[in-house]
């Protein structure tokens, strides 16, 4: 099938050239618009102003009177040194050394070891506590079993307050506590959406 248009009049033939020429001309116009300088018109004509007519103010020359510095006070007289012969005998105190010899017996000081209570977060403990129902579980599943058994215990023994249910108060309650070496629980801190 032959094209119906005449190839002489095909505008898409040089479209990239026209596009580049259009971009260049727009860039030139934008550059000229940015560089265009305008000045405010004033009522004064620069040729009318004559700066030489202004008189310079004459400042009188003044002299500074130099006063001599005040004389320094005389230096203090040196003390008279009296030479005295050494007639008095002074007892010298002898400082004994604190170093020990091999022959001396050194008292052995016994140091009592004080056990320090170190708080260890539950997440860092290598050997997690074993819940009575989790003794048959592998070592890697101890933590999950402990968490599951604690959740069962909480669901079984703790009830949501009826007052909070009636008032429509709901949310999570976070409880933080410390388990002592003997297994007792201390420092219980609870935080929730309401005091109830």
Q: pLDDT (tens digit, 9 = 90+) per residue, 133-157?
A: 777 787 777 778 888 888 888 888 8
Residue position matching structure tokens 């009049």: 9
Question: What proportion of the chain, given as a percentage, has pLDDT over 70?
Answer: 76
Pick from 122, 152, 157: nearest CA to 134: 152
Which SS3 state, helix, strand or coil, does residue 115 take? coil
Answering whether pTM is above 0.95, one says no
| E strands, the chain, in order | 174-179, 185-191
């Amino acid at each position: 099938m032959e094209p119906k248009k005449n190839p002489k009049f095909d505008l898409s033939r040089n479209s990239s050239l026209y596009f580049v020429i259009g971009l260049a001309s727009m860039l030139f116009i934008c550059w000229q618009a940015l560089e265009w300088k305008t000045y405010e018109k004033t009522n004064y004509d620069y040729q009318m102003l004559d700066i030489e007519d202004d008189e310079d103010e004459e400042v009188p020359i003044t002299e500074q009177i130099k006063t001599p510095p005040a004389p320094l006070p005389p230096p203090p007289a040196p003390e008279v040194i009296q030479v005295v012969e050494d007639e008095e005998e002074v007892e010298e105190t002898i400082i004994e050394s604190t170093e020990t010899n091999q022959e001396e017996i050194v008292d052995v000081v016994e140091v009592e070891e004080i056990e320090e209570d170190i708080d260890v977060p539950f997440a860092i403990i290598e050997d997690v506590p074993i819940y009575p129902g989790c003794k048959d579980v592998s070592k890697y599943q101890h933590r999950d079993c402990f968490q599951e058994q604690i959740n069962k215990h909480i669901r079984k023994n703790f009830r949501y307050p009826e007052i909070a249910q009636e008032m429509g108060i709901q949310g999570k309650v976070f409880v933080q506590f410390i388990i002592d070496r003997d297994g007792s629980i201390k420092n219980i801190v609870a935080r929730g959406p309401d005091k109830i």
